Amino acid sequence: MTTGVGSAERILALLGLFTEERLEWTADDMMAAINYSRPTLYRYLKFLNDAGFLTQHSGHRYTLGPRVVEMDFLMRKSDVLMREGRPILEGLAKVHPSTALLVRWYGNKLLCVDAEVSASNAKSSYPRGRPMPLARGAISRAILANLPRKQMLEKIRENFADLQAVGLGSSVEEIAETFKAQRKAGVFTARGEVTPGVIGVAAPVYDGGAVPVAVLCMTIDRDTLDDARLTLVRDAVIRAAGALTETLTENRLDAE
């Protein structure tokens, strides 16, 4: 099957229908959601089903297919961020009982791509593969505060209500100033903004560019942290993010 740019966008739109809130779709529901004609929809569904990206069940119901799992396996082996980040995550998790997260920033999403758990009763609402809030928590702040100013202001405006709700400021400029002050420390801390009872400590990761490509974070039960231990955790996260940044930058320079 030959597909042009328009067809590729339509196929991606079909795959984009599948979310945590809606894991299964019928053909009729898809047509209602994205307004494709029946012949066009069934042509794309056949293509995706044959390629393994979708699985068809009885009653013209569809779920994501096994090809997605295969590509996930290949990504784990090929993605330099995940490959180089794995030992760093393991080291972070040893600093304090926690969930150490490696989060990738892409498009408008924050997505955990790897994690290491050392806490016996881990508290984390966002396992690998589940998108995270763009405007709440230390991970979000590690990205937004380190964007170029124009882009940062755009994101603040888009997410103003959420950012204001967690006490970062009462205006766009005030939130931008809060980000500027926090950015100087190189590490970001949030308490209970994403998961109740959890402190998140995060730092941005770069690959030689001006914009963060990822975030390293530790999420920790607040009852296990005193001020001295929190300082130790913050220092460990900064060092880990710096080490991963150095490795990714070297890989990028070698590739060029």
CA–CA separation, 127 and 129 (whole Å): 6
pTM score, whole prediction: 0.85
CATH architecture under which domain 5-67 falls: Orthogonal Bundle (1.10)
CATH architecture under which domain 79-255 falls: 2-Layer Sandwich (3.30)
Cα maximum dimension of the chain: 64
| Cα 139 versus chain centre, distance | 9
Confidence band (pLDDT; 50, 70, 90) for 134?
Answer: confident
Confidence band (pLDDT; 50, 70, 90) for 125?
Answer: low
pLDDT reported for residue 136:
85
Mean pLDDT of 132-147: 89
Span(s) in the chain for CATH 3.30.450.40: 79-255
Contact 95, 218 (CB under 8 A): yes
CA–CA separation, 237 and 214 (whole Å): 13
pLDDT reported for residue 122:
73
pLDDT in tens, 38-71: 999 999 999 999 999 999 998 789 999 999 999 9
CA–CA separation, 76 and 129 (whole Å): 12
Q: Is the dihedral of CA 53, 55, 126, 147 positive or negative?
A: positive
CA–CA separation, 37 and 74 (whole Å): 34
35-74 in b/e burial notation, b at 16+ Cβ within 10 A? ebeeeebeebbebbeeeebbeeeeeeebebbeeeeeeeee
* Residue showing tokens 């209970």: 192
With 50 as the cut, is the pLDDT of residue 4 above it? no
Least confident piece of the model among 6-10, 26-30, 196-200: 6-10
What's the mean per-residue pLDDT of the chain? 90
Measured CA to CA in angstroms, residue 45 lies from 16, 26, 34, 159, 195 at distances of 13, 11, 13, 35, 38
Span(s) in the chain for CATH 1.10.10.10: 5-67
Amino acid at 231: T
